[in-house]
Chains A and B, each alone.
Chain A
Amino acid sequence: AQSVTQLGSHVSVSEGALVLLRCNYSSSVPPYLFWYVQYPNQGLQLLLKYTSAATLVKGINGFEAEFKKSETSFHLTKPSAHMSDAAEYFCAVSGGGGGNKLTFGTGTQLKVEL
């Protein structure tokens, strides 16, 4: 079985500060890992994905994530937060025992303050 744990249901940062959203996964085989962003009353938008190529993945809107097998982590970062980054962020895993199914974490609400 595969699973995802997102530490911190709410994260608050100041505008211009570093954004760090944590994600740890569990999978019996090399996984595919994803970060999605959801704005209020909207669907999910793909930020970036790891599919066994480069371990440092760059996504849209200045976000990036690093796959660390030894730590079973796939944390999402952005050097400088912008007000427009305020949203819900979901980490997800597929592959392995779950096949094509995506298993989502519980989400992290990012708040950006002036």
Chain B
Amino acid sequence: GAVVSQHPSRVICKSGTSVKIECRSLDFQATTMFWYRQFPKQSLMLMATSNEGSKATYEQGVEKDKFLINHASLTLSTLTVTSAHPEDSSFYICSARVPTAGSETQYFGPGTRLLVL
């Protein structure tokens, strides 16, 4: 099956610093990747859709200047949390859509646990 990786798996940073999270599709090319945020014991909330070679599409209420998304290649999307604050602490999960005709399947990375002190 399609494999998606994320790095780092866990990161602790100081308030005010920026953190970059990488999402890679390992065995397929993904023109579209998605970034989600998950709070403890809750469902996934879509933050933005990342399209290769173009600007990301952010969901309502998500600050695009705070959560910078770059999809520079067909196998890599990055999410940078700028000027992180404790309320940004969360589990961030990316997914990639497999470009198979007639399928809308997304495959998920293992997630990144962010803790802002």
Contact = CB atoms under 8 A, between A and B. Distances in A.
A28 interface: no
A42 B43 CA distance: 13
Contacts of B42: 106-107
Given A90-B44, A101-B46, A105-B43, A44 B104 contact: no
A34 interface: yes
Interface residues of B, number: 25
Residue with the highest number of chain A CB atoms closer than 10 Å, among B93, B97, B106, B107? B106
A17 B105 CA distance: 30
A39 to B, nearest CB: 10
A102 B4 CA distance: 17
B61 interface: no
B49 interface: yes
B32 A100 contact: yes
Interface string B89-113: 0010101010000111111111101
A104 B105 contact: no
Interface in A55-114: 90, 94-95, 100-102, 104-107
B111 to A, nearest CB: 5
B43 A106 contact: yes
Interface residues of A, number: 21
Contact of A100 (B6, B44, B93, B104): B104
Given A51-B104, A100-B97, A43 B110 contact: yes
Nearest to B100: A51
A43 B93 contact: yes
29 contacts: A32-B105, A34-B105, A36-B108, A41-B91, A41-B113, A43-B6, A43-B108, A43-B110, A44-B108, A45-B108, A46-B1, A46-B108, A51-B102, A51-B104, A51-B105, A90-B43, A95-B104, A100-B32, A100-B49, A100-B104, A101-B34, A101-B46, A101-B49, A102-B34, A102-B95, A102-B106, A106-B42, A106-B43, A107-B43
Interface of B: 1, 4, 6, 32, 34, 42-44, 46, 49, 91, 93, 95, 97, 102-111, 113
